[in-house]
Amino acid sequence: MPLVELSRDGAVALVTLNRPPVNALDQQLSQELTQAFRECADPAIRAVVVTGDPHFAAGADITGFKTAFESGTDDELAGALTEAIWALESLEKPTIAAIQGFALGGGLELAMGADFRYLAEDAKVGQPEILLGLIPGAGGTQRLPRLVGYQVAKELVYSGRHVGAEEAQAIGLADKVVAADELLEVAMADAAKWAEGPTRALAAAKRALNQGWGQPMVQALEIEAAEFANAFATEDAREGVTAFLEKRKPTFTGR
């Protein structure tokens, strides 16, 4: 049975973790996630939602760590999970992580690879690796401060505590908090709206934001200028300007 399910609803792809009971992350699951996200690069897919039920991902499969300790080798999960998160973050289209239950450790690191995080009201997120004598190993110490700020991220990593949905939204870790029974519906509906947008312009905006972040202003503006030129050359840009002048709603095709 596959550990990751990939389905389509129009131009929206739904990537679902399927490793009961809590979607504990191991090397195989991470590799299947990488493959699913690579398939989502298909131009016919214009937005992506990633989720898990009843938990998004409750963290790493700790039995793999024990095996690595006993064999005297490095655990391979961090590398495989890092590759999966890069595959998600690199998708040139809007992405949403729809989080119910727990998104802890690697689960939160995976969610941070998405553009947006929607949390069920009773969801819990956190980086509890420190409680095992470890630290986040798939981008948590780097993506978390970019979302919530350096000091807040430091406290969360040092304490390893679980963060509720309301606090997650207050600190910028959650973009929306939704009733649990409405979470996936809301995420899919919002993704469908993104999928109707100018896909190549959204991709250009995503590249400019991601690549320009942390760069000196001169280099960041050069990145933005190059991406503006890319967006300007698209059919969607011509359609958007024409529709504005004709006072009608544009019909974007993603070209």
- Catalytic, 89? Answer no
In terms of Cα–Cα distance, which of 103, 109, 94, 97 is closest to 12?
94
Question: Who contacts 110 (Cβ-Cβ below 8 Å, separation ≥6)?
Answer: 25, 33, 50, 56, 57, 81, 84, 85, 88, 97, 103, 138
Out of 5, 70, 92, 109, pick the active-site residue: 109
Q: How many CB atoms lie within 10 A of CB 242?
A: 11
Strand partners, 176: 118
User: Is the distance from CB of 46 to CB of 194 less than 8 angstroms?
Assistant: yes
User: 72: number of CA atoms within 13 Å, CB side?
Assistant: 0
Q: How many CB atoms lie within 10 A of CB 228?
A: 15
Residue 59 dihedral angles phi and psi, to the nearest 5°:
120, -170
- Catalytic, 76? Answer no
Out of 129, 182, 235, 239, pick the active-site residue: 129
Any idea which residues carry the catalytic annotation? 109, 129
